Structure 1
Amino acid sequence: MAIEVNGKSIETTGSGYLTDPNAWDEDIAKVIADAEGIELTEQHWDVIKYLRDEYLNNNQNQPMERQLLKDMGKLWGTKPTSKDLYKLFPLAPTKQGTKIAGLPEVMRKGGY
């Protein structure tokens, strides 16, 4: 499969994840988010950038939700709950967020 962004064809897996994380840019994120029914806010971008940084600069780490909550709390200066993150990414923050961030699909089962 592929998505069209700015006249370029970007390859994706059958479930819509980019096959090459390095092909990602913010325009691609917007197209994926739109397909997921998400209008990106600054908090969405914080999560997306965090997930990309963890993957690309921390040995391909794909953090569990608990770690995401802790690190977003530090960044936002509040203590977000799982409910807060699910308002941003209704189909699971670490999975749907990862998809929009252009990273490989998280294959683990749920987990907090």
Structure 2
Amino acid sequence: MAIEVNGVSIETTDHGYLVNHLDWNEDVARKLAEIEGITLTDKHWDVINYLRDEYINNGQNQPMERAVLKDIGKRWGTKPASKDLYLLFPLAPTKQGTKIAGLPEVMRKGGY
């Protein structure tokens, strides 16, 4: 499976995740978000950039929701509720957010 972004074909898995996270850029994120039915806001970008930073600069860490809530709260100045993240990424912030961030699919079950 592949998506077209700016005239370039980018390979994705059967579940819509990028095959190579190095193919990601903001235009790719916008296309992935569009496919997911999400219009990206600054808060979406905060979560996306956080997830990418954790994966790329922290040993391929894919944090669970509790860690995302805590760390995003530091960026936003107030700790969001789980519901706040689900309003941004309705199909699970750590899974749908990771997809839009161009990172490998999270294989663990749920997890708060």
What are the residue-to-residue correspondences of 1:1-112 with 2, within 5 Å? 1-112=1-112
- 1:31 is paired with a residue whose SS is helix
TM-score (norm 2): 0.99
Aligned equivalents of 1:44 and 1:7: distance in 2? Answer: 25
What are the Cα deviations for residues 66-111 of structure 1, in whole angstroms up to 9, with x where unaligned?
Answer: 0000001000001200000000000000000000000000000001
List structure 1 runs of 4+ shifted beyond 2 angstroms. Answer: none
Aligned equivalents of 1:100 and 1:106: distance in 2? Answer: 12
Q: Which ranges in structure 2 are unaligned for 5 or more consecutive residues?
A: none
TM-score (norm 1): 0.99
RMSD: 0.3
- 1:33 is paired with a residue whose SS is helix
User: How much identity, in percent, do the aligned residues show?
Assistant: 76
How many aligned positions are there?
A: 112
Aligned equivalents of 1:98 and 1:34: distance in 2? Answer: 14
Query: How far is the alpha carbon of 1:21 from its aligned partner?
Result: 0.4
Q: Which ranges in structure 1 are unaligned for 5 or more consecutive residues?
A: none
